[in-house]
């Protein structure tokens, strides 16, 4: 509980500092979005496990929350493999050697849809400990990102081939540091039996390290209701709030953005009993 409180306070202080340092006038904008994630996990009889996750997101029109059709426009699609090793019962390390990301920009009726692509390499450390009847998870990630230039979909686009390969590496490479505090707790528990229902609460701040220096990127707060359909299959339905502080240099605005996401999560693993469990 103390770790979660410290993590939240650090996130709030970074966000407040970022707002205070901006000389641009501030505006608050909201947008409704849809996020989904499918995780397929294969656990070996030893300490190794392999995972493939697929994320797909869509978005409503970017008109400050007046449009609630979260399936109107595409937003993002991701394919990301993982290799994990269980160092001990609470500690697991993971590597995503290459993740492919397709990103569609924020849209409105008077602006064209924008698009860019990314390659990401991710390392992760996860520590899981019991908390009450559930478990408390601390997760730390370092993401190495290589994005392409932003395009308006006027031309055929191949992955990261915008004619500026050196610029991709030197100018647009950045590092994201992410820390997550997650609490998963069983619900409707009865004496002598295990409930298939559980709650999921997580807080995840992010920091960008680039040539221009470090800065707060965003914070995600997630609250969901989950159910174990089988021992190896569970689903979640929840609300995710994505808070960010982008700067619009063209309009000279400091934007306080809230994305309100309907989130669907599916986790499926093989039946093999393993030490990584």
* CB neighbour list of residue 124: distance below 8 Å, 6 or more residues apart: 82, 93, 94, 95, 96, 139, 140, 141, 142
* CB neighbour list of residue 245: distance below 8 Å, 6 or more residues apart: 15, 18, 19, 22, 216, 218, 254, 255, 256, 257
**Segments in the chain forming alpha helices (H):** 2-21, 165-170
Task: Give the CB-side neighbour count of residue 205, counting CA atoms within 13 A.
Answer: 16
103-156 pLDDT, tens per residue?
988 666 666 778 888 999 999 999 999 998 899 999 999 999 988 877 765 544
Cβ atoms < 10 Å from Cβ of 71: 12
For residue 58, which of 272, 262, 208 has the smallest C-alpha distance? 262
Using pLDDT thresholds of 50, 70 and 90, give the confidence band for residue 83: very high
**77, pLDDT greater than 60:** yes
Residue 246's pLDDT is 75
Q: How far apart are CA 238 and CA 258, in angstroms?
A: 16
Q: How far apart are CA 39 and CA 53, in angstroms?
A: 4
Residue appearing with tokens 């004619």: 163
Q: Output DSSP code: residue 276.
A: T
Q: How far apart are CA 74 and CA 136, in angstroms?
A: 33
Q: How far apart are CA 126 and CA 98, in angstroms?
A: 19
């Amino acid at each position: 509980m103390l770790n979660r409180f410290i993590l939240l306070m650090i996130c709030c202080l970074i966000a407040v500092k970022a707002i205070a340092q901006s000389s641009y006038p501030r505006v608050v904008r909201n947008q409704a979005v849809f996020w989904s994630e499918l995780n397929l996990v294969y656990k070996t009889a030893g300490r190794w496990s392999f995972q493939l996750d697929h994320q797909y997101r869509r978005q409503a029109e970017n008109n400050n929350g007046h449009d609630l059709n979260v399936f109107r426009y595409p937003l993002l699609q991701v394919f990301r493999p993982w290799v994990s090793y269980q160092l001990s019962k609470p500690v697991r390390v993971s590597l995503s050697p290459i993740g492919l990301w397709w990103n569609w920009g924020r849209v409105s009726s008077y602006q064209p849809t924008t698009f860019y692509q990314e390659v990401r390499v991710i390392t992760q450390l996860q520590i899981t400990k019991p908390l009450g009847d559930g478990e408390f998870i601390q997760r730390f990630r370092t993401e190495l990102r290589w994005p392409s230039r932003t395009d308006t979909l006027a031309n055929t686009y191949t992955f990261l081939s915008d004619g500026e390969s050196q610029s991709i590496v030197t100018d647009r490479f950045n590092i994201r540091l992410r820390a997550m505090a997650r609490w998963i707790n069983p619900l409707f528990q009865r004496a002598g039996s295990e409930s298939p229902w559980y709650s999921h609460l997580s807080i995840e701040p992010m920091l960008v390290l680039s040539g221009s220096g470090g800065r707060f990127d965003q914070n995600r707060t997630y609250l969901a209701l989950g159910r174990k359909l089988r021992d190896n299959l569970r689903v979640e339905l929840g609300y995710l709030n994505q808070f960010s502080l982008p700067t619009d240099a063209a309009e000279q605005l400091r934007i306080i953005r809230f994305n309100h996401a309907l989130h669907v999560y599916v986790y499926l693993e093989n039946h093999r009993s393993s030490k990584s469990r």
